[in-house]
Amino acid sequence: MTRLRHPIVVVLGHVDHGKTSLLDRMRGTIVAAREAGGITQHIGASIFPLEAIVETCKQLLGEVKARLEIPGLLFIDTPGHAAFSNLRRRGGSIADMAILVIDVMKGVQEQTRESIQLLKARRTPFIVAANKIDMIPGWRPVEGASFREAFEKQSRAVQEDLEARIYQLIGDLSFFGFRADLYTRISNFTTTLAIVPVSAKTGEGVAELLLLILGLAQQFMKSQIEYHEGPGQGVIFELVEEEGLGITANVILHDGVVRVGDRLAYLSKSGPTVTKVRALLLPKPLDEMRDPRDRFKNVEEVKAAAGVKVVAEGFEDAVPGSPVQVVMGGDEKTALDRISEELGEFVVSTDKVGVVLKADTLGSLEAAFNYLKERGVSVRMADIGDVSKKDIVEAEVVRRKDDLKGVILAFNVYVDEDLEKDANSRGVRIFKGDVLFRLVEDYLNWVEEQVRMRTAAEFGSLVKPGKIKVLKGYVFRRSNPAIVGVEVVAGVVKPGYKLVNKAGRVVGTIAQIQDRGIALPEAEKGKQVAVSVREATVGRTIHEEEELYVAIPERDARQLIQNYLHMLDQDAAKTLSELVEIMRKSNPLWAR
């Protein structure tokens, strides 16, 4: 029979929606079943053994009928989208499943959206834990009960309130392309996203959540969670300085075995490299932590899936989110090449006209790079680490060609104040943020606003279409300048605009527009005003009841036709079309 490893489960969601509380509650629930096997602590992760989960669920839900083969669940202890971004491997995530925690009282919020984007990008199956049901007005908590039992004990009004909130959540999730429903109503879990109402505070619904994860992992992920005895593979989850050990790497091992003495390939800031494992450390069980200075126990080997603290030389230069791989025999080049290939997808330096992207970890860089690509934004440089002088120079080169792309996007990295002043003096804008998708949206919104302002400014500088009709009986002066009463039939007229007749000849220039003796800066459609026209003579160049057009310069007419036709009203657009037809009688290429 195929041996299965622990599925790796990560917890994500918006700040304060109860991610840590839910993990703590699940951990506490399992510890209560200690006689069946307690939690094994790992670095950045906790193993929940199958026997303890089944024992917990059996007390609430009755006998578990399905034959379970997986040994338990490995929960990543550091919840949040930032942690999840480091659980990366080529083409996906080392997390087999996720729990997306959503406060049932507040619904989908900013970091919820970010988490969903990451889950979709990594193609990670997940379950929604609709947390804080105990906060629903009138909810009567049933400590540690199953959701079904707790729900049945609520009043009809409270039940309807929860149903309405779940319905709202279903609608919000559909916006992201997910068909979702309450887990009790789902017949096909491959097509429908399960929502499990829970309370991290009272434990209601936690048993169903755990059992559902177990069942889905076993039913749909057997091939994905097969255990292999081969060389270990994982990722550097985070770097931690330990007293007496220096910088150590907390590694989540998702495949194979790692042993003391193994050579380990990983990504350093100067590129892929190899080091030797000096020690493997696991936390001591809680009841053995009598001496806080001796928190770890040495082990000779660790098998997937697990979290382990790796002690080796050179980790002070390691990149969080980096893949790690045990090097077998003389196969060092293959391991380094594989990491280089993976690195080359996201750490890039090109001559493209695109933004400069900096991030704190490889996982964050990948997520940002892919999101920018998805939004159609080209990237010139993408790298890990703080913003440098070189980044500013690169962005300045781009700015000379396209100032909307000559920017730096700095995600969760340090930006020196003097460097930022230098960037500003060069016209290079630096966008900073610690919420990935908000950072990208801030940049895209800025681009949109810049384009809107420039469009408005350019459109405002163009001579617009206008048509006037000389009113019969309203000739106030025949020449030097001619002063006549007119009606603006379409568009707008302004002082300084030249006028042409239907033969395409210029008949004069508007010197002034007046209404009842008051000078106006312009006159729009429907206005009847007096205009003075230089170089015009009534009865010779202009006539009563004649229609005259604003003589739009050819360049302006071309711009209006090609770029701004949608900004003209229907009458102005028609007037422009009439003018073009007039001018092309003598010059067929006019404004083309």
Tens-place pLDDT, residues 13-59: 887 888 888 888 887 766 554 444 456 667 778 888 888 787 777 76
How far does CA 7 lie from the centroid of its chain? 26
How far does CA 378 lie from the centroid of its chain? 15
Q: Which domains does the chain have, with CATH numbers?
A: 8-220 (3.40.50.300), 233-331 (2.40.30.10), 348-459 (3.40.50.10050), 466-583 (2.40.30.10)
261 marked ligand binding residue: no
pLDDT reported for residue 81: 67
pLDDT reported for residue 34: 45
566 marked ligand binding residue: no
Backbone angles phi, psi at 524, to 5 degrees: -105, 170
pLDDT tens per residue across span 309-366: 999 999 998 988 889 999 987 778 888 888 888 777 778 888 899 999 999 888 888 8
Q: Is residue 382 helix, strand or coil?
A: strand
255 marked ligand binding residue: no
77 marked ligand binding residue: yes
433 marked ligand binding residue: no
Written as six digits, the tokens of 330 are: 């003389």
418 marked ligand binding residue: no
491 marked ligand binding residue: no
254 marked ligand binding residue: no
| Helical residues (DSSP H) of 205-268, grouped into ranges | 206-220
Please state whether the peptide bond connecting residue 536 to the residue before it is cis, i.e. omega within 30 degrees of 0. no
14 marked ligand binding residue: yes
Residues of the chain with pLDDT under 50: 33-37, 286-292
Distance separating alpha carbons of residues 370 and 206, to the nearest angstrom: 34
434 marked ligand binding residue: no
Residue appearing with tokens 């039939």: 489
pLDDT reported for residue 407: 97
131 marked ligand binding residue: yes
pLDDT reported for residue 282: 87
136 marked ligand binding residue: no
Distance separating alpha carbons of residues 525 and 571, to the nearest angstrom: 9
